[in-house]
Amino acid sequence: MSRKSVYVTRAIPEENIEELRKHFDVEVNPDDRALSKDELKQKLKGRHAAISLLTDTIDGEVLDAAGPQLRIVANYAVGFNNFDVAGATQRNVVLTNTPGVLDDATATHTITLLLATARRIAESDKFVCDGKWQGWAPMFFVALDVERKNLGIAGLGRSGKAVAKRARGFDMNIIYSDVKRDPDFEKAFGATYVDKDTLIRESDFLTMHVPLTDETRHYIGAKELKAMKKTAVLINASRGPVVDEIALVQALKNGEIWGAGLDVFEDEPKLASGLIDLPNVVVVPHIASATPQTRIAMGEIAVNNIIKVLNGRVPDTCVNPEVLKSVAAQ
């Protein structure tokens, strides 16, 4: 019997690829770039499984081009807004993601962005590297205190809770908004549940942890930015489109908020016009989970999901569980 075929749309840790190759024929995109839609359709044709990234649009057109033998597309990410979930479900294709293993890395990265923005690290680093520093001065690069300030958490998932855990080291006051209250979290962290408007208005530092849905797209827009404190800092390491990037640029230019730290963007890798010219923003290229341990763990979930589905078993994670009834029948 011929071995089943798996395509990996971008290089992931070699440990993960080696494990896949023990079970299947595997081809990995040799180029360090996202594939075009036409390339993706061509590469997935005849495959039984694929490991995809958020940059890969997996819709009905791509799934039809792949063929009816395709059983699973495993996202190498927690998010799955690149998936046409309904289209895949209609075609009995299992879709999976990699939740749980990114929380610590993402939370640490969020706090790193918060501190870098508050203390003007990127701005002062550039100042020194440009040869402009002539000596110490009392009011030189005066920045923001973090200790005992209000940390607002928008979306209390695993990463939001992990950020709160780290913020305790700075004696920050935790306020949060979510679709439901978490009394255990409130008790453990002395946190206060608030509505969105209060969160926006009272936060000194606002960190984003909401998933990207129709309801959360532009969760932070011009209205919300105007309602924030002028000394507030916005941090986003969740999904780019939850912040209206054009509105954010204007708010930063106009001094409506003090600064922003961004790991994700609305139309990656493009940035809103004028964003990188602003001194009060720290931008990094979507690297919140970029540690060896985290990236290998993400790959392990994706690989194990493929192995299980192609052997008629239920995957560890699934974003369209309606299709699982068909897995065992394959």
pLDDT digits (tens, 9 = 90+) for 220-236: 999 999 999 999 999 99
What's the chain's average pLDDT? 96
Q: Cα(279)–Cα(276) distance, rounded to whole angstroms?
A: 8
Over residues 143-161, the mean pLDDT reads: 97
Count structural domains, the chain.
2
Q: Are residues 43 and 133 in the same domain?
A: no
User: Is 2 within 8 Å of 286 (Cβ atoms)?
Assistant: no
Given the structure tokens 């993400």, which residue do they identify? 298
Whether residue 92 has pLDDT greater than 70:
yes
β-pairing verdict for 150-154 and 173-177: parallel
Categorize the per-residue pLDDT at 1 as very low, low, confident or very high, splitting at 50, 70 and 90: low
Same domain for 238 and 113? yes
CATH of the domain at 38: 3.40.50.720
| Cα–Cα distance measured from residue 120 to residue 126, given in angstroms and rounded to the nearest whole number | 10
Report the pLDDT value the prediction gives residue 121, as an integer from 0 to 100. Answer: 97
pLDDT of residue 32: 84
Q: State residue 328's pLDDT score.
A: 54
- pLDDT at site 329: 54
One domain, residues 108 and 85:
no
Q: Quote the CA–CA distance of 160 and 177 in Å, as a whole number.
A: 10
Q: Which domain holds residue 197?
A: 103-283
Is residue 90 located within the same domain as residue 14?
A: yes
Query: Which pLDDT score, from 0 to 100, does residue 274 have?
Result: 97
For the cut 60, the answer to whether the pLDDT of residue 192 exceeds it is: yes
Residues 218 and 163 in one domain: yes
| Same domain for 252 and 110 | yes
Neighbours of 115 (CB within 10 A): 18
Per-residue confidence at 325, pLDDT binned at 50, 70, 90? confident
SS3 at position 34: coil
Three-state SS at 259: strand
Q: Specify whether 268 is located in the same domain as 246.
A: yes
Instruction: Please name which of 3, 49, 46, 8 lies closest in space to residue 23, comparing C-alpha atoms.
Output: 3
Task: Verify that 27 and 176 share a domain, yes or no.
Answer: no
pLDDT of amino acid 327: 65
pLDDT for res 330? 55
Residue in 52, 47, 53 with CA at minimum distance from that of residue 24: 47
3-state secondary structure of 161: helix
Instruction: Point out the residues that are catalytic.
Output: 239, 268, 286
pLDDT in tens, 2-48: 899 999 999 999 999 999 999 999 999 999 899 999 999 999 999 99
Kindly state the tokens that stand for 125.
Answer: 């680093």
Exposed / middle / buried, residue 172 (Cβ in 10 Å: 0-12, 13-18, 19+): buried
